[in-house]
Amino acid sequence: MQELLGLNGVHKRFGKSVVLHNIDWSIARGECVAITGSNGAGKSTLLHMIAGLAYPSEGSRIEAVSPLRVGYVPERFPALRFRPTEYLGYMARIQGMDKQEARKRIQAMLNLFQLQDIMMTLCSKGMLQKVNIMQALLRQPELLVLDEPLSGLDESSQMEMIGILREVKRQGTAITMSVHEPLLITSLADRETRLRLGRIQRDGMLENEPVLARMKLEFIGVHPDTMTELENNRGFLYWISRGTPASMVVERQATDDIVLYILQSGGSLIRLEPKDGEMTSAVDFSTGPEIAGGET
């Protein structure tokens, strides 16, 4: 695999305190590396080095692909007084993106993230985290760096976020993230770098292919309120369509519960099949209709 970025002999000091010690680390194109370790182990500091947001006190950061496009997703993201399309439009403009290209990209991401374009001050934590990840994906980075992407999210938002990150990875973006949740590691990561007191304690490939068994359900005759209730099932991942027929992707182990709920609510199932990660036009970043209105 082609290497994207490497850290060689990196130390980071804050005053007299050494927070990272002699870090040798790299990431390849399309790879996903989970950075684990207890609180204060140095994960966020390492992510800042990887993203190029802070400089090593000693050692070097080498981009094997230059210039490397890196997207950074901070742990906390403010609820600003903008709609997501407005905010993302401004971010695109600041980053010098072409207006038409930005509109297409933002619309394609809204489709993938299934995000309503309402004021961010009214958004839930899960919705805000979607905007946070979208701002990092605007310029189609080769490397996405996320600081605890599931932190503070409820279980169904976590599952939805895992589904989105798997899709981002499947489209070829390398990902590295600090993480505490075992499910995120097993469903997404190829490798784990474990930090302890600022040193790499372990860095190795994970034994199994990251797996999140999913099913695609198509159904009709369900009231919109029931559709919203379906999202609260812990196995719900994301909508492909809320129209007629409605189509959703769920975790395989939750399929029976969700199908039962649909039938008991007066709906009819018209198709059930494994969802093996194939691309649909709704999640193709390169295409997508124009945003109606939406100043960019």
Q: Which residues bind ligand ATP (CB under 6 A)?
A: 14, 19, 37, 39-45, 178
Q: Report the nearest approach of ligand ATP to the CB of residue 63 (Å).
A: 22
Contact criterion met (CB below 8 Å) for 24 and 30:
no
Q: Which is nearer to ligand ATP, 47 or 112 (CB)?
A: 47
The 3-state secondary structure of 161-198, one letter per residue: HHHHHHHHHHCCCEEEEECCCHHHHHHHCCEEEEEECC
Q: Which is nearer to ligand ATP, 76 or 271 (CB)?
A: 76
DSSP assignment string, 98-128: -HHHHHHHHHHHHHHHT-----GGG--HHHH
Q: Which is nearer to ligand ATP, 57 or 232 (CB)?
A: 57
Using DSSP's 3-state secondary structure scheme, residue 19 falls into strand
Tokens for 214? 């999913």
Q: Report the nearest approach of ligand ATP to the CB of residue 24 (Å).
A: 18
Q: Report the nearest approach of ligand ATP to the CB of residue 44 (Å).
A: 3
Tokens for 107? 């619309």
CA angle 191, 51, 200 (to 5 degrees): 45
- Give which of 135, 31, 23, 39 is closest to 89, Cα–Cα: 135
Q: Report the nearest approach of ligand ATP to the CB of residue 263 (Å).
A: 44
What CA–CA distance (Å, rounded) separates 70 from 87?
19
Q: Which is nearer to ligand ATP, 31 or 147 (CB)?
A: 147
Q: Which is nearer to ligand ATP, 72 or 236 (CB)?
A: 72
Q: Report the nearest approach of ligand ATP to the CB of residue 39 (Å).
A: 3
Sheet arrangement for strand 32-36? 70-73, 143-147, 174-178, 32-36, 191-196, 199-205
Which regions of 129-172 does DSSP assign to beta strands (E)?
Answer: 143-147
Per-residue CA distances from 203 to 11, 36, 161, 199, 200 (Å):
17, 10, 25, 11, 7
Q: Which is nearer to ligand ATP, 19 or 206 (CB)?
A: 19
Q: Report the nearest approach of ligand ATP to the CB of residue 62 (Å).
A: 21
Q: Report the nearest approach of ligand ATP to the CB of residue 25 (Å).
A: 14
Q: Which is nearer to ligand ATP, 72 or 285 (CB)?
A: 72
